[in-house]
Chain A
C-alpha cells in the first residue's frame, strides 16, 4: 500500500480514537457538568485557541483560490456545527435507539453526495460501499447495545 494512503488510513483511525475518547468524556460532562450547547461552545473555543497557537491563522491566502478555500471550510464548519446542534436536539426529543441509526448513517450520505457532486474527484466502488455499510452497521449495533 502506498505510504500516503497508509498515512491517510492511520490518521482516520486516530481521528476515530479521538472521537471515541471524547464521546465518553462528553457524555459524562453533559450529564454532570453543563448542558450540551454550553459545553460544545467551550470545547470549540478551546479548539479554536489551540489551532490559533498552532499557526492555523498565519497561512492566510488572499488569492481567489485561497478565498474559495476559506468559503468552503467556513461552510463546512457551519454545517458540521448544525449537525452537532441537530443531534443534541434530536436526543432531547427521541431516545438514542431512534436517533443513533440516522446520525451514524452520515458516511453513507457522504457516499451519495460524493457520487452526485464529486464524481470528478473521487471514485465510489462497490467494495467501498460494502465496507462503509458494514462499518456503519457495526457502529450502530455497538451504540445501540452498550449501556448509555
Chain B
C-alpha cells in the first residue's frame, strides 16, 4: 500500500510539473503560481475536511503560525521561483536542479544540528555536484 501511494505521489508531482509547464505557454509566472497554489489549497483543504476534520479545527496558534511560515517560504516564494525558473530553462532542467533540495537540508543539519558528514552523505553530495555540473555545462 505504501509503495502504491509513493508511486502515485511521484506521478502527481511529475504531472503537476508538466501541467504547469504547459500553462506557462499561456500565462505569466506570478498568475500561474497564484492559480496553482489556490488549486493545491482547495484540494488539500477538501482532503483534510474529509480525512482529518477534527485536527484541522483544533490547531493551536503556534501551529498555525509555524505552518504559515512554511507556506510563505515553500508555496509563495518557492513555487513562484520554481515556475519562473521553468519559464527560463524548461521543466526538464528545472525539475532536476530543484531535486537538489536534500543537499540544502543536509547543509542546514550540518550547520545547525551538528550532524556529521558520513561517507554516504559525502558520496551523495558528490553525485549531486557532478549531476549539476553535467546539467549546467550544457548551457
Which residues from chain A sit less than 8 Å from chain B, CB to CB? Answer: 1-2, 4-5, 7-26, 29, 33-35, 37-48, 50-52, 54-57, 59-61, 65-66, 68-87, 89-95, 98-99, 102-107, 109-111, 113-114, 117-118, 121-122, 124-125, 127-128, 130-147
Contacts and interface: CB of A to CB of B under 8 A. Distances in A.
Given A17-B101, A76-B39, A132-B99, 9 more contacts: A20-B107, A37-B55, A42-B68, A51-B33, A81-B44, A85-B9, A87-B5, A121-B90, A134-B134
A35 B24 CA distance: 33
Contacts of B7: 102
Given A12-B97, A44-B37, A110-B14, A146 B115 contact: yes
Contact of A20 (B82, B108, B124): B108
A20 B37 contact: no
B22 A72 contact: yes
Contacts of A38: 48, 52, 55-56, 59, 63
Instruction: Please list the 3 inter-chain residue pairs (A to B) with the smallest Cβ-Cβ separation, ordered nearest first.
Output: A94-B2, A56-B34, A47-B75
Given A12-B98, A47-B37, A47-B72, A34 B128 contact: no
| Number of chain B interface residues as a range | 35 or more
Contacts of A66: 26-27
A73 B23 CA distance: 5
B125 to A, nearest CB: 7
Nearest to A95: B2
Interface in B40-93: 40-45, 47-48, 51-52, 55-56, 59-60, 62-64, 66-82, 84-93
A63 B134 CA distance: 40
Nearest to A3: B88
Contacts of B95: 106-107, 110
A35 B42 CA distance: 18
7 contacts: A8-B93, A24-B109, A73-B32, A75-B39, A102-B3, A122-B91, A132-B131
